[in-house]
Amino acid sequence: MPLDERYALDEFLITTMARQFSGEVMVSSVTAFGALSALLAKARYAPDLAVLATPESGMEVTPMPTLSLGQFLTDAQRGIPLTMEEIFDAIFTDRFRIWINPAQIDRHGNTNISVIGDWHQPKVAMVGSRGIPEDTSHLSQIFYYVLTHSRRTVVEQVDFRSGAGTGPDRDATLGEHGAPSVLVTDLGVFDFTGPDGTMAVRSLHPGVTLEEVQEKSGFEIHAPSSIPVTEPPTEEDVQIIRDADPLEVRKLELLSGPEAAERFVSIYERERQALHAAWPRLGKLG
Amino acid sequence: MPLDERYALDEFLITTMARQFSGEVMVSSVTAFGALSALLAKARYAPDLAVLATPESGMEVTPMPTLSLGQFLTDAQRGIPLTMEEIFDAIFTDRFRIWINPAQIDRHGNTNISVIGDWHQPKVAMVGSRGIPEDTSHLSQIFYYVLTHSRRTVVEQVDFRSGAGTGPDRDATLGEHGAPSVLVTDLGVFDFTGPDGTMAVRSLHPGVTLEEVQEKSGFEIHAPSSIPVTEPPTEEDVQIIRDADPLEVRKLELLSGPEAAERFVSIYERERQALHAAWPRLGKLG
Amino acid sequence: MTVDQVVADIPNGSTVAIGGSSLSRKPMALIRALARSSVKDLRLIVDVGGPDVDLLIGTGSVSEVIYAFVGFEVLGLAPHFRRARQQQALRFEEWTEYTVMAGLDATIKRVPFLPTHAGLATDVLSVNTSFRRFKDPFHGEELVAVPALKPDVALIHVNYADAKGNGVILGDGHVDVLCAKAARRTYMSCERIISSDELQRYGRDVQILRVHTTGVVELPWGAHPTGCAPDYRADLRHLQDYLRYSANDDAWRAYADQYIYTDQSRYLERQGGVEALLARLKV
Amino acid sequence: MTVDQVVADIPNGSTVAIGGSSLSRKPMALIRALARSSVKDLRLIVDVGGPDVDLLIGTGSVSEVIYAFVGFEVLGLAPHFRRARQQQALRFEEWTEYTVMAGLDATIKRVPFLPTHAGLATDVLSVNTSFRRFKDPFHGEELVAVPALKPDVALIHVNYADAKGNGVILGDGHVDVLCAKAARRTYMSCERIISSDELQRYGRDVQILRVHTTGVVELPWGAHPTGCAPDYRADLRHLQDYLRYSANDDAWRAYADQYIYTDQSRYLERQGGVEALLARLKV
């Protein structure tokens, strides 16, 4: 995607993600992209969202992208404390949304965060399926994002199904519950309306061609004859994101190597100050 | 049971009930007798008890026998608020005790609070089995009391099993879990160590004869050749009970008719004052 | 929203779960509104029922009751419930305290049932044909399968709520959270609507989450004649009157005219007004 | 009680459930004490694991891990966990976040299993042979039976506790309550022991009830290097060091010598002392 001086790639993607939200549901996040998309959505696109400070707790807060302070937001902003049981009850009753960032996603929207290679003889053992099986068996909207669309991330078939995609296995046991809805990558927006519930192009980001997408994907993605261009963020969208993340935690997700490490340390050292500047402590101990 | 000037029947029974408690378990109560036995036990016989203010909530409080103020004790004494889920988890994990006052109890310790007559064509529809099935399938100690031992209350066979007694049905499905332990009546203390888990005399109250018990029971209760006399309350037991229940809510359980109604009204009008005198309001709204 | 809007959302034959517990925090103002509407054939789900169930049976609004308990606690039995049971006038299904909770929780967790030992070796299993005995898939242990209870509507009453539908419960929570999560639509009355900022000071006492509620109505004294800790206790004197009025049809019609077929503000006046209620019931 | 008394109660082969979540409120001081004891062949149960699981694998104390997740969140993968998985050095069983909770809850409710749809149409069901597919007894719907998880011991760390064993958790509760209820013996460390009178001011933040706990140890900074909201955040700098020290055996021995084979007060000195920790981590 070519750069545009009005917005950075992260701002473009976060806005695109924000525009997927709707309704009165809890929104949780484990990443800065997730947190900022929820924040922007609540401000501009889906005012009824009940946004959480952490993956698990602190409802009705303004999330702050952070490395170490998620739970502290609940206290600083007097978020409504929740329990894990309440989170899963919200999942089971379809009152929950989250942007999931899988290591692999495949043609049918199966996703993997557990292992590269065979589960029993891993090439790379990652983290384990966490709550993705629960999400993908219960929610009516499942949101995925991948920041580097490539043949390593968008694959013919995932090495391990942490998240249930479309196909016969789902049809036999889960039906529509928890089926993948949307994938946002650095190249475009995709859904699973292709033949037999396979991945299809919904829109491509400005300047991205279908050829580029096909080349960077591990399989041929279904595409309509006329492909829309993803709508870019407005000035207001961009401003909201920048104001909400002055330390630019979001940039870390797109970086690696020494630059990432240096910036990581710098953010970690400065974020307490940012928290106190934004929300002078009001919590129960304050 | 003949009267003794040192204690009243209610004080005798409450003390007998208090002496059954042991260990570090939650104790709940729905009656004044239950509340006072827990209070006395904690003061004298089982100091580790975690006493609740109401059937459901307010752990670590001093219960006050009351008609309308159970929940208010939690607030006044800063009891630890619990949920119904926590109560049942304490039941399932055998960390819970309660004195149950059934309408009928039978030879095998089955108990009934649901209906007199056939369930489908009730002669008297009472209240429904409430949580007794849960207690009698999980707790290692099940305590019953009956204030008027008679052929109407201590029966050959209950009309409806709200609580599971001993016998083949239990043996097949529950084993030892939740079996009846003790019955305290105005005549004596009974357990279920008779042949095939039937009711047996453990002790008789002072002056009570086995003949009187058999005459007032709907079946022959197993008795050892030498029957102990139930130990009466000490002066300290009696004093603790009287101090804890200055309005004598406990007396209501032994009364009926106009005398009960009059005393009921009088207690109801005076108990707010008693609460505030005992525990000046310290709660979260105070 | 208003009481009338809530009632308009509850058609004949609805399955209604009711929060509270016997004489505590029953949504009585909503119950009375339901009772004076023309709605019929309600299926009630209560864990521990009291004047809520009894009143709706008394006004002929009910066709079925699923319950673990219905009673007036220290005051004795529930008169219309008892009469209807004895006359076999309606359908009744006796559950138990935990199984009602498990049935609601099964719906929340979108499973058709939850397993338990509760009920084994009791007659609840004989008379309640909704339960099923089965053997667990691992060891063949005999268990009770508690079927999912699926309320269309839940009615609850709480201390405070914000306009968005978050609710604060300061006393015992009873099964209100389970009702709110399990029902397709949850209507909540409250003693007072407060700002979200103020509500969020209540921390873990914010027990009802707006994602599970459909509408909120401010109804001070909305639990009366049951209590609402720590604001007011149960009005046992009014409940004694209720029991007397329930002795026969004529008396019951008089009760209904005076206390049911009227709105909440007139209802409160007929209790002697808010000052008198405060003097009698504020703790 | 003391850390040593806790460790003495945990024999070889024990099944140990650990509270907290990845970098939050892990009972790390208890974990380090366990790691430096001679205990072997632990079976760990974690919902969301992090340095707790990784450290115990690193010291060779573990024979099996039941987990939904083990990782260092923003810092990346868990080095010893990853290596052990890739070398197939121990037994691993992958569960999911809710199924670990359901497995613990099944034990609490004394049922052999709980049903769920979670895991269907995923490979978790293929690799985790503890789960079983079955058909529900009412409608024959296909479900997953999650077996009861039965910890011998639970280890948790909380903000405050009283000496009787009631505990206050001010930040996210994670699965600590489930661990405490499900385990046969629960040991709780806390930042500070306070009087019962003071503890009871925390209302619904008193989440751990003494009827479910066996012993309490006061261990300030007992979650370090993970965080303990709202007292201190995770020490990501120390955790970065941990990752570097985990690169090879020699470095790891150095880490163990310096930070594991020592007591909590020397451990804190080696972090620069409490003043330095406060300056770095207090929020």
Q: Is it the case that residue C161 has pLDDT exceeding 50?
A: yes
Nearest residue, CB atoms, C139 vs list D109, D112, D137: D112
Nearest residue, CB atoms, C145 vs list D117, D138, D203: D138
Tokens of D80: 């010893």
pLDDT digits (tens, 9 = 90+) for D168-220: 999 999 999 999 999 999 999 999 999 999 999 999 999 999 999 999 999 99
Instruction: Please give the model's pTM, rounded to 2 decimal places.
Output: 0.98
Place of tokens 């004949």: C12
Q: Would you say how long chain A is, in residues?
A: 286
pLDDT of B2: 61
pLDDT digits (tens, 9 = 90+) for C24-78: 999 999 999 999 999 999 999 999 999 999 999 999 999 999 999 999 999 999 9
Distance from the Cα of A36 to chain D's closest Cα (Å) equals 16
Identity of the amino acid at A280: P
Considering only CA atoms, give the Rg of chain B.
19
pLDDT of B279: 85
Partner-chain contact B80 D110, CB within 8 Å: no
Partner-chain contact B285 C170, CB within 8 Å: yes
Nearest to D75 by CA among D222, D268, D242: D242
Nearest to C224 by CA among C30, C4, C12: C30
Asked if the peptide bond before residue A224 counts as cis, ω within 30 degrees of 0, the response is no
Write out the H or E segment, with its range, that includes residue C251: helix C249-255
Q: How many CB pairs under 8 A join B and C?
A: 165
Q: Is it the case that residue A280 has pLDDT exceeding 90?
A: no
Partner-chain contact D134 C137, CB within 8 Å: yes
Per DSSP, B43 falls in state: I
Tokens of D114: 């709980």
**Which residues make Cβ contacts (< 8 Å) with residue B235, sequence separation at least 6?**
B6
Partner-chain contact C108 A78, CB within 8 Å: no
Distance from the Cα of B284 to chain D's closest Cα (Å) equals 8
Give mean pLDDT, residues A182-202. Answer: 98
Contacts of D142 in chain A (CB under 8 A): 172-173
pLDDT digits (tens, 9 = 90+) for A5-52: 899 999 999 999 999 999 999 999 999 999 999 999 999 999 999 999
Write out the H or E segment, with its range, that includes residue C206: strand C206-208
DSSP for B210-277, written as a single string: HHHHHHTSSSPPB--SS-PBPPPPPHHHHHHHHHH-TT-GGGGGG--HHHHHHHHHHHHHHHHHHHHH
pLDDT band at C7 (very low <50, low <70, confident <90, very high): very high
pLDDT of A55: 85
**Which residues make Cβ contacts (< 8 Å) with residue D132, sequence separation at least 6?**
C137, C138, D113, D144, D145, D147
Give the CB-side neighbour count of residue C245, counting CA atoms within 13 A.
20
Distance from the Cα of D28 to chain B's closest Cα (Å) equals 27
Q: Would you say how long chain B is, in residues?
A: 286
Residue-averaged pLDDT of chain A: 95
Secondary structure, 3-state, chain D: CCHHHHHHCCCCCCEEEECCECCECCCHHHHHHHHHCCCCCEEEEEEEECHHHHHHHHCCCEEEEEEEEECCHHHCCCHHHHHHHHCCCCEEEECCHHHHHHHHHHHHCCCCEEEECCCCCCCHHHHCCCCEEEECCCCCCEEEEEECCCCCEEEEEEEEECCCCCEECCCCCCCHHHHHHHCCEEEEEEEEECCHHHHHHHHHHEEECHHHCCEEEECCCCCCCCEECCCECCCHHHHHHHHHHCCCHHHHHHHHHHHHCCCHHHHHHHCCHHHHHHHHHEC
Give mean pLDDT, residues B43-70. Answer: 94
Contact with chain B for residue C278, Cβ under 8 A: no
Q: How far apart are CA A265 and CA A270, in angstroms?
A: 9
**Which residues make Cβ contacts (< 8 Å) with residue D199, sequence separation at least 6?**
D160, D161, D162, D166, D168, D206
pLDDT digits (tens, 9 = 90+) for A77-134: 999 999 999 999 999 999 999 999 999 999 999 999 999 999 999 999 999 999 999 9
**Which residues make Cβ contacts (< 8 Å) with residue A200, sequence separation at least 6?**
A190, A191, A192, A193, A194, A221, A222, A223, A224
The chain C residue lying nearest A50, using CA atoms, is C211
pLDDT of A51: 97
pLDDT of A284: 45
3-state class of B170 per DSSP? Answer: helix
- Return the CATH class of domain D3-95+150-281: alpha beta
Considering only CA atoms, give the Rg of chain D.
19
Partner-chain contact D112 C138, CB within 8 Å: yes
Partner-chain contact D139 C111, CB within 8 Å: no
Contact criterion met (CB below 8 Å) for B63 and B29: yes
The chain C residue lying nearest D169, using CA atoms, is C204
Partner-chain contact A130 D117, CB within 8 Å: no
Q: How many CB pairs under 8 A join B and D?
A: 45
Nearest residue, CB atoms, D200 vs list B24, B78, B95: B78
pLDDT of D75: 94
Contacts of D71 in chain A (CB under 8 A): 126-128
Contacts of D175 in chain A (CB under 8 A): 84
Partner-chain contact C112 D147, CB within 8 Å: no
pLDDT of B283: 46
Tokens of C130: 């909704």
Q: What percent of chain D has pLDDT over 90?
A: 100
Distance from the Cα of A41 to chain C's closest Cα (Å) equals 17
Give mean pLDDT, residues B91-120. Answer: 98
Nearest to B102 by CA among B129, B125, B120: B129
Task: Write A27-31 long-range contacts (CB < 8 A, 24+).
Answer: A27/A51, A27/A52, A27/A96, A27/A97, A27/A98, A28/A52, A28/A54, A28/A55, A28/A56, A28/A87, A28/A96, A28/A97, A28/A98, A29/A55, A29/A63, A29/A98, A29/A99, A30/A55, A30/A98, A30/A101, A30/D73, A31/A99, A31/A101, A31/A253
Nearest residue, CB atoms, A93 vs list C108, C196, C210: C108
Partner-chain contact A68 D124, CB within 8 Å: no
Tokens of A33: 């992209």
Q: What is the CATH number of domain A9-282?
A: 3.40.1080.10
pLDDT of B1: 64
Place of tokens 């299904």: C93
Contact with chain C for residue D136, Cβ under 8 A: yes
Higher per-residue confidence, A279 vs D33: D33
Partner-chain contact D120 A84, CB within 8 Å: no
Per-position b or e across D157-167, b if 16+ CB within 10 A of its CB: bbbbbbebbbb
Distance from the Cα of C200 to chain A's closest Cα (Å) equals 6
3-state class of A106 per DSSP? Answer: strand
Partner-chain contact D209 B50, CB within 8 Å: yes
Partner-chain contact B85 C236, CB within 8 Å: no
Nearest residue, CB atoms, D138 vs list C110, C136, C147: C147
Q: How far apart are CA D153 and CA D213, in angstroms?
A: 10
Nearest residue, CB atoms, C211 vs list A24, A77, A78: A24
Contacts of B177 in chain D (CB under 8 A): 110
Partner-chain contact B75 C230, CB within 8 Å: yes
Q: How far apart are CA C81 and CA D201, in angstroms?
A: 41
**Widest CA span in chain A:** 59
Other CB atoms within 10 A of residue D218 CB = 16
Other CB atoms within 10 A of residue D256 CB = 18
Distance from the Cα of D104 to chain B's closest Cα (Å) equals 12
Q: How far apart are CA A230 and CA D53, in angstroms?
A: 43
Partner-chain contact C230 B72, CB within 8 Å: yes
Q: Is it the case that residue B286 has pLDDT exceeding 60?
A: no
For residue A191, list its beta bridge partners. Answer: A182, A200
Per DSSP, C226 falls in state: S
Contacts of D204 in chain B (CB under 8 A): 81
pLDDT of A285: 44
Partner-chain contact C110 A25, CB within 8 Å: no
Contacts of B54 in chain C (CB under 8 A): 172
For residue A212, list its beta bridge partners. Answer: none
**Which residues make Cβ contacts (< 8 Å) with residue A280, sequence separation at least 6?**
none
Domain boundaries, chain C: 3-95+150-281, 113-147
Give mean pLDDT, residues A221-241. Answer: 97
Task: Write C235-238 long-range contacts (CB < 8 A, 24+).
Answer: C235/C271, C235/C277, C235/C280, C235/C281, C236/B67, C236/B68, C236/B268, C236/C23, C236/C74, C236/C75, C237/B265, C237/B268, C237/C280, C238/C271
Q: Which of D73, D95, D97, D282 to mutate to test the interface with A (most CBs of A within 10 A)?
A: D97
Partner-chain contact D138 C112, CB within 8 Å: yes
Residue-averaged pLDDT of chain C: 97
Q: Are strands B143-146 and B154-155 parallel, antiparallel or unpaired?
A: unpaired
Tokens of B11: 């004080």
pLDDT of B57: 87
Per-position b or e across C232-270, b if 16+ CB within 10 A of its CB: bbbbbebbbbbbebbeeeeebeebbeebbebebeebbee
Domain boundaries, chain B: 9-282
Tokens of A274: 């940012």
Q: Is the ipTM of this complex over 0.90?
A: yes
Considering only CA atoms, give the Rg of chain A.
19
DSSP for B124-139, written as a single string: EE----TTHHHHHHH-
Place of tokens 């430096």: D36
Name the phi and psi angles at C65, rounded to 5: -130, 125
Q: How far apart are CA D219 and CA A11, in angstroms?
A: 44
Give the CB-side neighbour count of residue C40, counting CA atoms within 13 A.
1
Q: How far apart are CA C228 and CA A255, in angstroms?
A: 56
Q: How far apart are CA B187 and CA B189, in angstroms?
A: 7
Q: How far apart are CA C92 and CA C70, in angstroms?
A: 11
pLDDT band at B285 (very low <50, low <70, confident <90, very high): very low
- With contact defined as 3+ CB pairs under 8 Å, the chains touching A are C, D
